[in-house]
A and B are shown apart, each in its own frame.
Chain A
């Protein structure tokens, strides 16, 4: 049975990827699970310099979800390239680097540093973090800035460029198309939804930053809808993200048109879930007499629409 997928030059041995910000730099999970089980992993967001991140409290649990404002605390791209990338080389998994910046130039510079080091399989462009004052969602919510950042990253690397889109926009297809036109090879959809939890006793936000990004099963239907819209709007492949806990959830994204998926918050809940999700994914394909996971991609039969891709005979 074939589980390998390809996204704009990025080859994954299976469609399961650990999402940025939920898997550290990868090495933290050594010993808890075999990283070679993963199709890929995306590093925590990296700037040129180390960052302190947001004040505490930084996380609060919500119904079927998690609201966070970590604020992109991180070691900086140079430490990552020097200390972490070589360590991940021993695993048979694609390492994607999530690239951040306060300015367009910083995105390009971080990308150049990753491009110049061996070990990275692709660049995920973070234009959607809701928990920083500059960059992040401020860029990903503005089509002109989105185009500038993605074009700058495109020029800085030969690696596949994968912008991670914000759901906090009126029309995600506009941003998907802007990214495609700016040279993106694939898209990650979606980042967290902007949320607010209030402590009614103190009448203050529960998070020190104020607002935060909502993730987890609570956002899955929204994520599936937005990934589906993005996948229809562009020719480049889409990686679906949002509240995946099991193979069924992953399949929703694949059927909606995503070529691969990222697993985020569930890494916190059960670091061992990849083995289970892969086994269940295989069982599903077998049950549906499919030899190749790609055969399920984009097979959604949506009312009133001709099916976009026929299931292979």
Chain B
């Protein structure tokens, strides 16, 4: 059950000019959050900017009753959060949303992250290790500085990087090393993606072409985080639905099976197309 409370900032770690690791005290999140879930959070109690912001939960520490977020200061809301001093409070509601589905035994979790989309995969990698499942991460960004936190996966899961400017790892899109890996891999895999929409769509296409299951964590603008404003809806269609319908990313996501999403430029979901072929 999510809890709405003031959460004290207990640690603030700048990673570079734009990226921060922020750790807050919030017992309910620390004890019950699962990878892929998120929080709605806002610095202090000021009016401006009005809305809380959604963030994937990066890690939890049940012993300390804390959780951490990976925040890129982009706009007013994120900047206000990263300017909090230790001891100051944020208004925080969580944990919220549907987490990633853990792979079955013998299936490898292949995580695909773009930029700050790496956040939920740190918690996921820890969960996988605790559950004795194997996993690996493909991590892409525009350049080296977008690939923060990569060292923290050392000893947890293997991690392959790609940058569009070639400053770290393979030059180009992260889907290239992903596809090369999938070409060579014989065993069962399940894909997990978090990052920009174009990357999520690309991973959905890879999954469709190869007939593998995939989940994506979507990141639309959210108003409330609990399914009441209906601002964050995603166009989706299950195999049984003749028409696509809007589902809230906050309550029915943010993690969606990629085959249920009607991606931009498409008129039907992959699940529906498959159901029609089978019929």
Contacts and interface: CB of A to CB of B under 8 A. Distances in A.
B91 interface: yes
Interface stretch (A22-30, A120-128, A166-174): A22-30
B233 A56 contact: yes
Contact of B47 (A29, A32, A56, A217): A217
8 residue pairs, one from A and one from B, having the closest CB atoms: A59-B231, A24-B228, A268-B224, A268-B223, A58-B231, A70-B230, A272-B4, A28-B228
B226 to A, nearest CB: 6
B181 interface: no
B270 interface: no
A61 B226 contact: no
Contacts of A24: 226-228
Interface stretch (B48-56, B58-66, B99-107, B151-159): B48-56
12 contacts: A22-B224, A29-B228, A32-B93, A59-B231, A68-B229, A73-B230, A73-B246, A216-B50, A265-B50, A267-B224, A268-B223, A270-B4
Q: B1, B3, B230: which has the most chain A beta carbons within 10 Å?
A: B230
Interface of B: 1-4, 42, 47-52, 91, 93, 220-221, 223-224, 226-235, 245-246
Interface string A255-295: 00000000001011111100000000000000000000000
B198 to A, nearest CB: 16
B230 A52 contact: no
Contacts of A63: 48
A31 interface: yes
Nearest to A66: B50
B175 to A, nearest CB: 25
A21 B231 CA distance: 11
Interface of A: 21-24, 28-29, 31-33, 44, 52-53, 56-61, 63-66, 68, 70, 73, 216-217, 245, 265, 267-272
Contacts of B229: 21-22, 59, 68, 70, 268
Contacts, number: 91
A268 B49 CA distance: 13
A64 B224 CA distance: 16
A interface secondary structure, majority: loop
A166 to B, nearest CB: 20
B4 to A, nearest CB: 5
A28 B226 contact: yes
Contacts of A28: 226-228
Given A267-B228, A268-B223, A65 B50 contact: yes
Contacts of A64: 47-48, 50
B263 to A, nearest CB: 13
Nearest to B243: A52
A73 B233 contact: yes
A271 B223 contact: no
Contacts of B1: 31
Contacts of A21: 229
A57 B227 contact: no
Given A70-B230, A73-B246, A271-B226, A56 B50 contact: no
Given A31-B1, A73-B246, A265-B50, A56 B226 contact: no
Q: B91, B226, B234: which has the most chain A beta carbons within 10 Å?
A: B226
B47 A52 contact: no
B246 A60 contact: no
Nearest to A69: B231
A60 B47 CA distance: 16
B4 A269 contact: no
A65 B231 CA distance: 14
B254 to A, nearest CB: 14
Contacts of A216: 50
Contact of A269 (B52, B231, B233): B52
A270 B153 CA distance: 35
